[in-house]
Copies of this chain bind each other. A is one copy, B any other.
Amino acid sequence: MFERIAILGTGLLGTSLGLALREAGFKGSIAGWNRSAEGGREALAMGAVDLIASDAISLARQSDVVVLCVPIYSTLDYMEKLASELTPQQLVTDVGSTKGQITDAAGRLFNTPERAAFLPGHPMAGKERGGASLGEAGLFRGAVWLFTDDPAWQRSPRGAELAANWRDWVVAIGSKPIDLDAERHDELVAWVSHLPQFTATALSSLLEDQVGDAPELKHVGGRALREMTRLGASPFSMWRDIAHTNTTAIEAALLALEQRLAYIRENLRTPALREEFERANAFRRE
């Protein structure tokens, strides 16, 4: 059904999405737009998009589906700008990591009989570093793709049909869609995504203070340390908007981990340590 897909933001996710759609057999046009010219050129050279447009709004106007692959506050900005420019024949979707504010904006700005449809989405895939050059067609394969749309506010005439079509493409590129309401989404990702990131950041930052001036000792930890600090390389620019738009849930998760670490610290020589290991083992059991 879709013939023209626009990808706004050809960073890691946008570039990977273009490559994945092509690999999955999408025959229409894929046009990109990117804030920096260099990132756009890179995505074009990699074959992720057929062209790079100079203006995001006019590109969106000419597309069947617009995929916002920019940070959360930019996504919210573009939602404001696009709402009055698009028609009920069009679908907008996104890949933002927190969904409360985006889902609210979707209900307020889209999904009316006169407006385009908006389907809030969040692929659970990424890397510790961003940028078009790290994009790959297989990034979304095997990953969960969360959706937080609410059929109750879906009143765009072709909304259901357009959304179903986008979900088919998400499946075609190898992802597994799961539906959640936005509040539950933001709470869940605070535990399974944001908490692991901030933990890796805290651990890496702490170790930089402890052994950062002794490079030979940074490598002593081997694979375990490498894995536990890999996400320490994640750039602030990717995580600032997440910290700002899911603050309460992240605070709760961080506090719970602080308490769990304190409990372990106070029980290094008691039988409670065995119970903590057994509970951790259970989490890893399939």
Q: What residues of chain A have their CB less than 8 Å away from a CB belonging to chain B? A: 124-126, 128, 143-144, 146, 178, 188-189, 191-193, 195-212, 216-225, 227-236, 239-240, 243-244, 247, 250-251, 254-258, 260-262, 264-265, 268-269, 273-274, 276-285
**Contact of B258 with A265 in the complex, beta carbons under 8 Å:** yes
**Contact of A228 with B282 in the complex, beta carbons under 8 Å:** no
Known: A192-B217, A209-B279. 5 other contacts (CB 8 A): A199-B199, A204-B281, A224-B231, A227-B231, A235-B281
Closest chain B residue to A263, Cβ basis? B202
Closest chain B residue to A201, Cβ basis? B280
Q: Give Cα A117 to B181, complex, Å.
A: 66
**Contact of A283 with B207 in the complex, beta carbons under 8 Å:** yes
Closest chain B residue to A231, Cβ basis? B224
Contacts of A210 in B (CB 8 A): 191
**Contact of A257 with B202 in the complex, beta carbons under 8 Å:** yes
Contacts of A285 in B (CB 8 A): 233
List 30 contacting pairs A-B, 8 Å CB cutoff, sorted by A: A125-B222, A126-B224, A143-B222, A188-B217, A192-B217, A192-B221, A196-B224, A196-B225, A201-B280, A203-B280, A205-B260, A205-B276, A205-B277, A206-B260, A208-B280, A209-B279, A228-B231, A229-B284, A230-B284, A233-B284, A233-B285, A234-B277, A234-B281, A235-B281, A236-B278, A243-B269, A247-B268, A254-B265, A255-B265, A261-B261
**Contact of A254 with B247 in the complex, beta carbons under 8 Å:** no
Closest chain B residue to A243, Cβ basis? B268
A244 to nearest B CB, angstroms?
Answer: 6
**Contact of B255 with A258 in the complex, beta carbons under 8 Å:** no
Q: Give Cα A232 to B250, complex, Å.
A: 21
**Contact of A220 with B254 in the complex, beta carbons under 8 Å:** no
**Contact of B283 with A269 in the complex, beta carbons under 8 Å:** no
Q: Give Cα A222 to B139, complex, Å.
A: 11
**Contact of A196 with B203 in the complex, beta carbons under 8 Å:** yes
Residue of A197, A204, A220 with most partner-chain B CB within 10 A: A220
**Contact of B260 with A220 in the complex, beta carbons under 8 Å:** no
Q: Give Cα A200 to B260, complex, Å.
A: 11
**Contact of B254 with A224 in the complex, beta carbons under 8 Å:** no
Q: Give Cα A255 to B202, complex, Å.
A: 12
Q: Give Cα A196 to B207, complex, Å.
A: 10
Contacts of A258 in B (CB 8 A): 258, 261-262, 265
Contacts of A212 in B (CB 8 A): 282-283
**Contact of A198 with B261 in the complex, beta carbons under 8 Å:** yes
Closest chain B residue to A239, Cβ basis? B277
**Contact of B124 with A221 in the complex, beta carbons under 8 Å:** yes
Residue of A188, A230, A257, A284 with most partner-chain B CB within 10 A: A284
**Contact of B235 with A277 in the complex, beta carbons under 8 Å:** yes
